[in-house]
Structure 1
Amino acid sequence: MVTPLIVSNIYSQSRDKTRRGGRRESERNEAEKSTEIRSSSEISSAIEELSVLVLVKPGDNHEAALIPTKPFLSLCYLVLQVLDKIGPTMTVLRQDVQQNIKRLEMVLESNSSLSSNLVEILKTETREGNAKKGASCSKAFVWLTRSLDFASALLLTLSRDSGINMEEAVQEAYNITLKPWHGWISSAAFRVALKLVPDSKSFIDLLKANDESYDTQTEKIKILVSLLAPFLEGIHCILKAYDLNNLKAA
């Protein structure tokens, strides 16, 4: 006869195995995801992420706009990997991006139903008067958008002239996207590190998947930029509607 204790032990062992199996499966999924990103390149993966993000067009009702939080953060995560390839110049920016991603991830994990749409987060924090205060999610969203602006501007320049001086390309992208909002300390740190960027061809080579040609990767960069531009334009319309477009670094 099977006693309640034996049943309990069997259940506990089964539950432990399930948990261990779940952890192993999760680890495998993460490993497979990393491998998939490496094999398809960050640019290809970013194109895929943009395909599932809702495009917010200028003039649309910002109150009814939808920007899914999880896909947006996945896109920002891919930008992190692009910044890594630029080198030490992007260390400070990379850290900011990572911190802002984590801030929004924590909110999403704590209340996924209410935080699944970034526009709802902006509405809630604006209504409560917290959007511009402290380490708000709204401010995290603003700076992540600006990091995407920087990546988009840099890739646009490279797509137009892949032989351009990389230092000049990075400086130009920084000047038009991030410098207006940075304090003098951040700007000075950026100037010092700028000498460490790779040349443009080496940078594009680093972005390629193993089986991609240089020309194929350049074409994909053009596709990504063509998708990013209207998407970011829509986001800036929303930020302006909530009076968040002119936030500067503290």
Structure 2
Amino acid sequence: MYTDVETAHGINTDQFLKATDHMLNMFDLFGSTAFSVVQNDMRNNVKKIRTRYLTDTEGNNTLENLMANEAHQKKRLATEAVVWLKRGLDFTARSLMHSLDHPAEELATSFRMAYDATLRPYHSFILAMNACPWRKDFYERIGIQDESSIAQMREWLTALLRIIAQLDTHFEQHPAYLLH
């Protein structure tokens, strides 16, 4: 869970990757192959980050250190993966938070809104919004059934959005990370 990811001295790489693995499994609950492209892309980005992390777990203990250690290399696969994974996670977090904040709307509406705010500037890939499960069915599948579980999900999404904001700040401080 993103609530367990240490961020005080940088975003703990191992904890972040484990939380992201857990989140990606949620796409399986959509019951549709329409999101498999997004899920596979995000999994591939996790794999690139994990591969880099495992080359030096101490030196790459935070995402910030991992990117700094890769900054002077010609190919910065893990840094590029962090950029794209952050964008995908931002889309996911905004979609679900919007859905929690607007319980009368279906997931497709929340996904369209989040896509426009996060991914549209980077590519023209349009998600199969009509393949979204019904809101009621999706929340039932992931166990969001009462106020307590909604509060827990909101806490989890808030933690993820804080991590995304921390990455955004890091990219603002190191704009060269976004150029390649």
Unaligned runs of 5+ in 1: 1-45, 56-64
Q: Map of 1:125-164 to 2, 5 A cutoff?
A: 125-131=70-76, 136-164=77-105
Deviation at 1:141, TM superposition (A): 0.8
Distance 1:179 1:83, change over 3 A: farther
Deviations for 1:17-37, whole angstroms, at most 9, x for unmatched residues?
xxxxxxxxxxxxxxxxxxxxx
RMSD: 2.2
Q: Which has the higher Rg, Structure 1 or Structure 2?
A: 1
Deviation digits for residues 77-125 of structure 1, max 9, x if unmatched?
1221122223333211101111111112222223222222221221122
Letter paired with 1:146: R
Moved >6 Å (runs of 4+): none
* Offset at residue 216 of structure 1 (A): 2.6
Q: Distance in 2 between matches of 1:147 and 1:161?
A: 21
In the alignment, is residue 179 of structure 1 matched against residue 120 of structure 2?
yes
2:141 match: 206
Cα separation, 2, equivalents of 1:168 and 1:246: 29
Contact 2:83 2:178 in 1 (8 A): no
Alignment coverage as a number of residue pairs: 179
Amino acid at match of 1:195: N
Structure 2, unaligned runs of 5 or more: none
2:26 to 82, 95, 116: 82
Correspondence for 2:155: 223
Does structure 2 retain, via aligned residues, the 8 Å contact 1:204–1:214? no
Tell me if the contact between 1:163 and 1:200 (Cα under 8 Å) persists in the aligned partners.
no
TM-score, normalised with respect to structure 1? 0.65
**Structure 1 counterpart of 2:63:** 118
For 1:207 and 1:226, the matched residues in 2 are separated by: 18
Distance 1:69 1:205 in 2: 31
